[in-house]
Amino acid sequence: MDSQNPLVLQLKKYGMLSHEVEKEIEFRTKKILKKKDDYFSKEDQILTSYFVLSEGVFRAYIYRKDKEINVWFGQENQFFGTAMLYANRPSPEKIQFLEDSEIYAISTDDLDNLYKLYPELNLIGIKIAEELCVILEDRITSLHTENAPERYQSFIKEHPNLINRINLGHIASYVGVTQETLRRIRKG
């Protein structure tokens, strides 16, 4: 089976899927269309799906002391969820779309059931969780060891195709500076 489902395609990057598993995932996947500024989740909501964007960009942010702080960005062809999915706890993050977006999502319950039915998916789930741990550790290390210009350069290196898709204010928040400071950093 040659699936065109972006969720299946992303899972296959982490390991082999049998024809039967692909069919099950296809059956359980929901295609969702979101408009720019729509939300996938809001603060203190329990996120109940893993998802892949086939089109679009989003930001995940927290709200602290009357200020939005961007913590990560998502774009096409990546597997997403939050670490809170594993704990079944409300997420402190809001996920907001910055462009009209097309999402393919599978509920955590459906995926958990598929893990039980198809052990081959467990290895894929472990690889995804490991990748998430590396991404989180890299971000934590960056926040503790890099200054703002270095964090901006890291952002450019990690997300070169997002520079023109995300407004300067969101990038500044992610780097941890004001827009004015980010303008100075960019001028070099």
163: Cβ–Cβ under 8 A, 6 or more apart, which residues? Answer: 156, 171
Report the chain's mean pLDDT, rounded to a whole number: 89
175: Cβ–Cβ under 8 A, 6 or more apart, which residues? Answer: 148, 151, 152, 155, 182, 185
pTM of the predicted model, to two decimals?
0.86
In this predicted model, what pLDDT tens digit does every residue of 13-28 receive, in sequence order? 999 999 999 999 999 9
Phi/psi for 44 (5° steps) reads: 65, 15
Tokens of 25: 């995932």
Closest CA to 71 of 141, 140, 174: 174
Triad 112, 113, 116: Cα angle to 5°? 90
Contact call for residues 12 and 52 (beta carbons, < 8 A): no
- What domains, with CATH codes, occur in the chain? 6-118 (2.60.120.10)
Residue 176 CA to residue 188 CA, distance in Å, equals 17
Which has more confidence, 55 or 88?
Answer: 55
Whether the per-residue pLDDT at 1 is higher than 70: the answer is no
In this predicted model, what pLDDT tens digit does every residue of 101-142 receive, in sequence order? 999 999 988 988 999 999 989 999 889 888 888 888 988 999
78: Cβ–Cβ under 8 A, 6 or more apart, which residues? Answer: 10, 52, 53
In the chain, beta strands by DSSP E: 30-34, 39-41, 49-55, 57-64, 67-75, 79-80, 94-97, 101-107
Residue 54 CA to residue 146 CA, distance in Å, equals 32
Residue 185 CA to residue 149 CA, distance in Å, equals 6
Which has more confidence, 135 or 145?
Answer: 145
Whether the per-residue pLDDT at 83 is higher than 90: the answer is no
Side chain identity, residue 144? H
